[in-house]
Amino acid sequence: MTTEIYGSRMLRWALAQGGGDITAPLSTDEWMASERVPFEVADAVVSHLQAGRFVEAMVTQANGHSPILRFTPHGLQEARHQEREVQDLSARIVFAEDALLRWVFNSDQPNRPKDLQDFLSSPNSFFHGDQLSVDEILAAQRYLVQRELCGGTIDGIYLKADGRDCVLSGKTVRQYMDQRNGVSWTINNTNSPGSVIGAQEHVQQTNHFNGVDLADVATLVERLRTLTPDLDLTPEEAEQYDEDVETMATATDNPGLWRRAWLGVRQFLVRAGTGVADDQLLELGNRAAGILLP
């Protein structure tokens, strides 16, 4: 595993150990024992997390080893984000599709079939430190092949022209598919001239975000604001929930930020159950975030 993978694993381990308490001491030695990693690897991971301002040392020995750490506010927020994404099936599927496509693109001779077992054995198959399952990788392969971004064999995958264009566009797979299918991202002014990204020659201009009418997005945000008392949130969770909802209200020009905020909100809705958030509300949020299941 890479330092980055171990770093994510340590963040999520620390979240579980400290229960979200930013003042809780975190033992580097206990993490080393749980992961069975050597001293040198642990020190490299701690240095990586300190450089990113995710943790800070409570104790530092003369040799530079930091046996006791604690979260920074930034680190605690990132750990929570990574943990909720790891537990979210739709986020895992989106990641698997993007990671597999880019792995094929970056491989030698991408137009020749690549064994999926090689992807499973690579660092690319880890999502926030958690390895994708075989079923998740096979689902990603099927999606890429069905959408003709890749070609498939019994146990392999290879790049096609649309897959290459997707990677070079800098978009995620789902964003690229929306563009290819003629779905608009955001058009802020319906009364002024503009264009909709897509292949159609004649399209009626609408005010959309990820194919969802912005009026519906605004209605979704208002509904989410009213649900706070029904979600049985701790004060910290309520603060996080309200912050994410407000991000959704203002970040319709930033699909990645909007999606991240929705995933934060969605974890509390799912936990609360259908008595609070119905399937229609969840489906609308997923659609706007571009994370519909295949």
Same domain, 168 and 144: yes
Instruction: Report pLDDT for 232.
Output: 86
124 in the same domain as 155? yes
Residue-wise DSSP of 239-283? HHHHHHHHHHHH-TT-HHHHHHHHHHHHHHHHHH-TTTS-HHHHH
The tally of domains found in the chain comes to: 3
Q: What is this structure's pTM?
A: 0.64
Examine the domain organization and report whether 15 and 37 are in the same domain: yes
* 130, part of any domain: yes
Alpha-carbon Rg for the chain in angstroms: 21
Q: What is the pLDDT of residue 189?
A: 35
Residue 184 has pLDDT above 70, yes or no: no
Average pLDDT over residues 173-199: 52
- Out of 20-29, 93-102, 284-293, which region has the weakest mean confidence (pLDDT)? 284-293
Q: Is residue 92 part of a domain?
A: yes
User: Is residue 38 one of the residues assigned to a domain?
Assistant: yes
Mean pLDDT taken over the chain: 83
Q: Is residue 196 part of a domain?
A: no
Overall average pLDDT of the 179-205 stretch? 41
pLDDT, tens only, 60-86: 776 667 788 899 999 998 999 899 889
Helix (H, G, I), strand (E, B) or coil at 179: helix
Q: Is residue 245 part of a domain?
A: yes
Within this chain, do residues 214 and 130 fall inside the same structural domain, yes or no?
no
In terms of residue numbers, what domain contains 236? 208-289
Residues 99 and 138 in one domain: yes
Q: What CATH number is associated with residue 61? A: 1.10.10.10
Domain boundary among 54, 77, 100: 77
Same domain as 170, residue 99: yes
In a domain, 199, yes or no: no
In a domain, 95, yes or no: yes
Residues 6 or more apart in contact with residue 197 via CB below 8 angstroms: 179, 182, 183, 184, 185
CATH at residue 158: 1.10.10
- Residue 190 domain flag: no
